[in-house]
A and B are shown apart, each in its own frame.
Chain A
Amino acid sequence: MKIDKNTINKIARLSRIKLDDKESEDYIKDLNSILDWVEQLNEVNTENVEPLSNISSSILPKREDVSKDTNSSEEILENAPDKLEGFFVVPKVVE
């Protein structure tokens, strides 16, 4: 088994998602079955194969290097759950 209780807790922590015990158990089961299933990729010989990260066949165009003023802080803050004087507000992070 690749994913145990410790691993799921570690991944959940990295993902910043709180899981309760019941959820942890369900995800341990799900993730193990998915990982077992993707194991079949090990059958494929990928020696000397370049990993493909960009599928686009088009050449990426360059843009002109000019600055643009897009100061839209008011718009950006419009959907903020909590804001104050032009800033996002979050719980206190320094004691």
Chain B
Amino acid sequence: MSKSSLKQTLKDLDTKKISIRELNQDYLKRIKENENLNVFIHFSEENVLKQIDNLEKDNSAKKLKGIPIAIKDLFCTKSMPTTAASKILENFNPTYESFVTQKLLDEGSIFVGKTNLDEFAMGSATNTSFFGNTINPLSQENEPLAPGGSSGGSAAAVAADLCLGATGTDTGGSIRQPASFCGVVGIKPTYGLCSRWGIAAFASSLDQAGIFSHNVEDASILLQSIAGFDQRDSTSAKVDIPNYFEDLDDDLNGKTVGIPKEYSIDGTPMEISQIWEDAIKVLEKKGVKIKNISLPHTKYALPTYYIIAPAEASSNLARYDGVKYGFRSDEIDSLDEMYENTRAQGFGREVKRRILIGTYVLSAGYYDAYYLKAQKVRKLIADDFNKAFKECDFIVTPTAPSAAFPLNEKQNDPIKMYLNDVFTVPASLAGLPGISIPFGKDQNNLPLGIQILGKHFDEQQVFNAAVSLERSYE
């Protein structure tokens, strides 16, 4: 299967080598052939054809005109329902468009469908969705693998070539880890770069939108399209957005890469240590100075995250009460009964678990011991990075502690599942931009990922390092 890049497709459309209709027919065909992967929660061929019709009548020049894009079903879209993969939003039809999807529509892209995810983005395997598991397109027959999560549907959509790019959200690794599992590129930008307006909230001090694509160049084109200030998200940053694609520069000569010693973790498979070493060697050859750095509080990132994220989730998800939108239980003898039954029947097991733990750590008598403590440790984790970035331009680590694992493995042990995010969570807590690119394979020929982290709003450096590593690997 030869996958065309977004960059090449834009050229082909421009030179009329292919029409918008032909291009999208091709993608529609593949989407229908791959229904068994359960990539989409919502897909309507009719809707795609309507978008093609409209674009054919539109004579204006648009940057992404006719480009098929998949949207994580956490972004509100007017033209398609939005479920967050939860029963509680099963019948929700937003009357407004999220900031990010509006930007993509303004650029003329075509939405092929809404992709599957872990319910409310809570999970690392896309196996907590009310609409069933997504299967990793790289699975062998009879041995289905998880696509990672929470944005597993979007990562799988790109990996199976069902679109030229996809949106995702990343709270603790939900873009980078599935990108690694599916062998695609995934970038989580700096906290605040993309407005979250119209994205169902999970943990507001961490949530950030981002992009999946076939390669780094495509990611740089798409990220530029969705970034930007928006006054409807109070954490949205008013910063100049560079032309990431135009400014891509794979010459890293004279730069310094930080290698954090704390990311060598007991039990990490040899293959993962190996690709990490390989990446460092490649960089060294390119004239990059290798600097061993220390991020001493790394081991506390996961427990910190699993206090802060559920705490914020318990507050954000209070809005799903059966009153204003979404599912309402039939058993409604009193107002409280209505709330309690609606939420009991509307939320899945993992979501309830996180609401309960979040409620506990915020409750009277426990707030200081858990939530406040976690916020203090978070400060130390962020300070570690600030110190490290005084000595280096970017940081390179593995993305995940394993390749894609079999579907439903680790299901019964929440902590084991949480450990998937061990390399991605620290940067999330510090609000830093991070990208995962495919780099090497394990013994079963499954892709592994390398993560590159940068300073706040230094996406350009992250892209430059990523494109340099990618080009050396091809």
Contact = CB atoms under 8 A, between A and B. Distances in A.
Contacts of B304: 41
Contacts of A52: 375-376, 378-379, 382
Interface in A1-42: 3, 7-8, 10-12, 14-19, 23, 27, 30-31, 33-35, 37-38, 40-42
A16 B239 contact: no
A47 B352 CA distance: 33
A91 B429 contact: no
Nearest to A28: B356
Interface stretch (B137-145, B269-277, B324-332): B324-332
A34 B415 contact: yes
A51 B336 contact: no
Interface string B429-456: 1110000000000000000000000001
Interface centre among A15, A27, A41, A50 (most CB of B within 10 A): A15
Given A56-B192, A80-B325, A18 B306 contact: no
B92 A51 contact: no
A7 B365 CA distance: 12
Nearest to B307: A38
A17 B344 contact: yes
Contacts of B237: 56, 58
Contacts of B328: 81-82
Contacts of B382: 52, 55
A16 B353 CA distance: 13
Contact of A91 (B238, B306, B332, B352): B332
Contact of A44 (B93, B297, B326, B327): B297
B333 interface: yes
A84 to B, nearest CB: 13
B377 A44 contact: yes
B394 interface: no
B205 A54 contact: yes
Contact of A34 (B339, B357, B377): B357
B314 interface: yes
A82 B91 CA distance: 13
Interface centre among A17, A59, A93 (most CB of B within 10 A): A17
A35 B70 CA distance: 37
25 contacts: A7-B360, A15-B355, A15-B356, A17-B356, A18-B344, A23-B352, A31-B353, A31-B360, A38-B374, A40-B300, A41-B373, A44-B377, A44-B380, A50-B376, A51-B379, A52-B376, A55-B429, A57-B431, A59-B238, A60-B234, A61-B238, A75-B96, A76-B95, A81-B327, A91-B338
